[in-house]
């Protein structure tokens, strides 16, 4: 009963302090008879008014913030959680106090990575979504006691000059994932909250404010922040709005592009979410089974996505499609590649500063990094080179994963190489067409932009045996016998790589390997004239 008394006092405080605002904005219209539900509806209505940049009275704002905090401190104040999650609390979180820990325990069990039987029910999932929205946790890190306690040491050191509210500190914390400032408790609590924020575009206040109009115009977003009639967060559309906005971010037609302030927010959010597959619903929700099967032990930043990319051929079709389209985006926009963003910061500043300045990256940054990775200063930057080469190996799986190549050659791939699957096959097929044109002295059927891209891909193959899977397979035994200690690729600077080694042992090579090497030699002779 003390709870009800406490609850009554709370609701009295809120309705008294906000009386004028409630009346002015008709926040009692159509509310429920159940007083707990009614309170949540009134709160949502008041919050929606704030989101519309309308000022509420100071006392009312203070009461709203108190109430948001209390909701996160005690799950028993949320009727949906009490009824919708009762069994889940018994099953997963029974030994915890009523405080925020129970709520975080439920959130942890809401993430798809958990096996089916360790996941909360659909009803409880919806209740958590409602709570995250009513308490508007994504807006202010101080609302949630668990997050506040876990992240205070990080905020004190790394975000101390960031003002609370408007998700500014949340954004600062997201930027610190993967750095030495972050600790495990804070990261866990943060990702538990961000999991829900990522699935409802309205819960990131800066994204919502700056992109609301574009989202309604291009992505069928709902017009109001609080959809009080259904009370639902529209789970079908919520997660899809961000990827939809991202597609328009780089639209070739001016009138179809996002407003600059929305473009800026979309880039920030996409960059922050690339750190964990939990925050990329369009991939995670399609890949639940594959993640559990192939990537269960991958927990580092960006590791799950790398793991899915490495296993691309083995994934179930819907997951394979989702990972492929994410990888295509990632190849065009470096900010979606958290590993390269983390380890190649210096290299990007040093060699590719112009691209950073423009803020628009359409495959340019990847191309720039690849072109400089064999320079003397980059040879010592082992982590950055490894990250670039790892991505180069992923791109061999599909020519769409190399943005500039895809853009320049797409129509000619469709015309000349409809049956080529991997990028390796596409390059081989196009270079054959180029070679035949040259030998016949005919006019080139493939234009210069695409020919240059094919040449660039062929040069990369020569540089590193890992980029030439056919040669690597044909000469596997010879490589093990004769070239065991030779680095796989060191490009133009140091020529003692595997390709050179195989050529020096020419007489001892098996037929398959000799044939593969001969093909390379033959193409090298004619390539010089194919431009």
Rounded average pLDDT over 143-158 = 94
- On the question of pLDDT at 390 being above 80, the answer is yes
DSSP assignment string, 301-343? TTHHHHHHHHTGGGS-HHHHHHHHHHHHHHHH-GGG-HHHHHH
Please, which pLDDT band fits residue 287 given cuts at 50, 70 and 90? Answer: very high
Look at 228-232, 247-251, 259-263, 302-306 and tell me which has the smallest mean pLDDT.
Answer: 228-232
The CA-atom distances, in angstroms, between 481 and each of 471, 496, 513, 521 are 15, 16, 13, 22
Rounded average pLDDT over 338-361 = 89
- On the question of pLDDT at 514 being above 60, the answer is yes
H helices of 441-492, where? 448-463, 469-474, 476-482
- On the question of pLDDT at 99 being above 80, the answer is no
CA atoms within 13 A on the CB side of 307: 19
Rounded average pLDDT over 227-237 = 49
Please, which pLDDT band fits residue 225 given cuts at 50, 70 and 90? Answer: low
Rounded average pLDDT over 348-377 = 90
pLDDT at 496: 53
pLDDT at 292: 86
Query: Which residues have C-beta within 8 Å of that of residue 96, sequence separation ≥ 6?
Result: 102, 105
Rounded average pLDDT over 1-22 = 71
Please, which pLDDT band fits residue 438 given cuts at 50, 70 and 90? Answer: confident
pLDDT at 356: 86
pLDDT at 165: 77
pLDDT at 302: 83
- On the question of pLDDT at 31 being above 60, the answer is yes
- On the question of pLDDT at 440 being above 80, the answer is yes
490-512 per-position pLDDT tens digit: 554 344 578 888 888 888 889 99
Please, which pLDDT band fits residue 53 given cuts at 50, 70 and 90? Answer: confident
Percent of the chain with pLDDT over 70: 90
Output the pTM of the full model: 0.82
Please, which pLDDT band fits residue 235 given cuts at 50, 70 and 90? Answer: very low
DSSP assignment string, 479-492? HHHH-TTS-SB-TT
Please state the domain extents for the chain: 324-395, 400-527
| Maximum mean pLDDT: which of 86-95, 239-248, 402-411 | 402-411
- On the question of pLDDT at 186 being above 90, the answer is yes
- On the question of pLDDT at 531 being above 50, the answer is no
- On the question of pLDDT at 383 being above 80, the answer is yes
Rounded distance between C-alpha atoms, residue 380 and residue 308, angstroms: 29
Instruction: Answer with the residue of higher pLDDT: 480 or 166.
Output: 480
Rounded average pLDDT over 400-405 = 94
- On the question of pLDDT at 402 being above 80, the answer is yes
- On the question of pLDDT at 273 being above 80, the answer is yes
Rounded average pLDDT over 11-26 = 88
pLDDT at 173: 94
DSSP assignment string, 15-30? HHHTHHHHHHTTTTTT
- On the question of pLDDT at 461 being above 80, the answer is yes
Percent of the chain with pLDDT over 90: 44
474-492 per-position pLDDT tens digit: 999 998 888 887 766 655 4
Rounded average pLDDT over 212-225 = 84
pLDDT at 490: 56
Token representation of residue 397: 């799986």
- On the question of pLDDT at 513 being above 50, the answer is yes
pLDDT at 493: 37
pLDDT at 494: 40
pLDDT at 153: 96
How far from each other are the two terminal CA atoms of the chain, in whole angstroms?
84
Rounded average pLDDT over 362-384 = 90
Q: In degrees to the nearest 10, what's the CA dihedral of 91, 92, 93, 94?
A: 30
325-347 per-position pLDDT tens digit: 999 999 999 989 988 998 898 99
Query: Which residues have C-beta within 8 Å of that of residue 28, sequence separation ≥ 6?
Result: 22, 42
Rounded distance between C-alpha atoms, residue 231 and residue 289, angstroms: 30
pLDDT at 114: 65
> pLDDT averaged over the chain?
86
**φ/ψ of residue 224, rounded to 5:** -105, 155
Determine the longest span between alpha carbons in the chain, in angstroms. 93
């Amino acid at each position: 009963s003390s709870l009800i008394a406490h609850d009554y006092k709370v609701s009295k405080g809120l309705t008294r302090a906000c009386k004028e605002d409630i009346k002015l904005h008709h926040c009692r219209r159509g509310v429920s008879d159940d007083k707990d539900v009614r309170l949540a509806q009134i709160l949502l209505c008041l919050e929606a008014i704030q989101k519309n940049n309308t000022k509420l009275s100071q006392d009312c704002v203070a009461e709203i913030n108190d109430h948001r905090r209390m909701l996160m401190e005690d799950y028993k104040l949320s009727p949906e959680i009490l009824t919708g999650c009762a069994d889940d609390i018994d099953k997963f979180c029974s030994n915890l106090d009523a405080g925020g820990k129970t709520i975080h325990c439920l959130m942890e069990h809401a993430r798809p990575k958990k096996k089916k039987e360790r996941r909360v029910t659909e009803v409880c999932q919806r209740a958590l979504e409602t709570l995250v929205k009513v308490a508007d946790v994504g807006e202010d890190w101080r609302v949630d006691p668990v997050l506040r306690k876990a992240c205070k040491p990080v905020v004190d050191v790394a975000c101390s000059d960031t003002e609370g509210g408007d998700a500014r500190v949340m954004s600062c914390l997201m930027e610190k994932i993967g750095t030495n400032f972050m600790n495990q408790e804070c990261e866990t609590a943060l990702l538990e909250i961000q999991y829900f924020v990522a699935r409802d575009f309205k819960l990131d206040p800066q994204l919502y404010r700056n992109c609301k109009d574009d989202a309604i115009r291009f992505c069928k977003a709902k017009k109001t922040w609080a959809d009080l009639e259904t009370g639902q967060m529209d789970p079908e559309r919520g997660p899809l709005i961000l990827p939809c906005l991202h597609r328009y971010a780089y639209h070739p037609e001016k009138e179809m592009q996002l407003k600059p302030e929305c473009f800026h927010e979309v880039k920030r959010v996409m960059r922050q979410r690339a750190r964990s597959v939990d925050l990329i619903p369009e991939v995670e929700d399609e890949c639940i089974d594959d993640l559990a099967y192939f990537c269960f032990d991958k927990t580092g930043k960006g590791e799950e996505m790398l793991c899915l990319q490495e296993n691309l051929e083995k994934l179930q079709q819907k997951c394979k499609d989702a990972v492929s389209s994410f990888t295509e985006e990632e190849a065009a926009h470096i900010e979606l590649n958290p590993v390269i963003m983390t380890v190649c910061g210096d290299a990007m500043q040093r060699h590719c500063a112009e691209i950073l300045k423009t803020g628009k990256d359409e495959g340019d940054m990847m191309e720039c990094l690849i072109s400089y990775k064999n320079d003397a200063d980059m040879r010592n930057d082992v982590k950055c080179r490894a990250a670039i080469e790892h991505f180069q190996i992923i791109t061999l799986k599909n020519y769409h994963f190399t943005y500039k190549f895809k853009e320049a050659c797409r129509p000619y791939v469709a015309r000349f190489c409809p049956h080529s699957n991997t990028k390796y096959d596409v390059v081989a097929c196009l270079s054959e067409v180029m070679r035949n044109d040259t030998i016949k002295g005919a006019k080139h059927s493939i234009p210069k932009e695409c020919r240059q891209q094919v040449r660039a891909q062929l040069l990369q193959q020569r540089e590193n045996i890992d980029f030439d899977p056919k040669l690597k397979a044909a000469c596997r035994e010879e490589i093990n016998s004769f070239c065991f200690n030779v680095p796989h690729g060191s490009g133009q600077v140091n020529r003692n790589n595997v390709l050179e080694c195989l050529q020096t042992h020419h007489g001892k090579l098996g037929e398959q390997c000799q044939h593969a090497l001969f093909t390379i030699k033959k193409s090298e002779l004619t390539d010089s004239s194919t431009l």
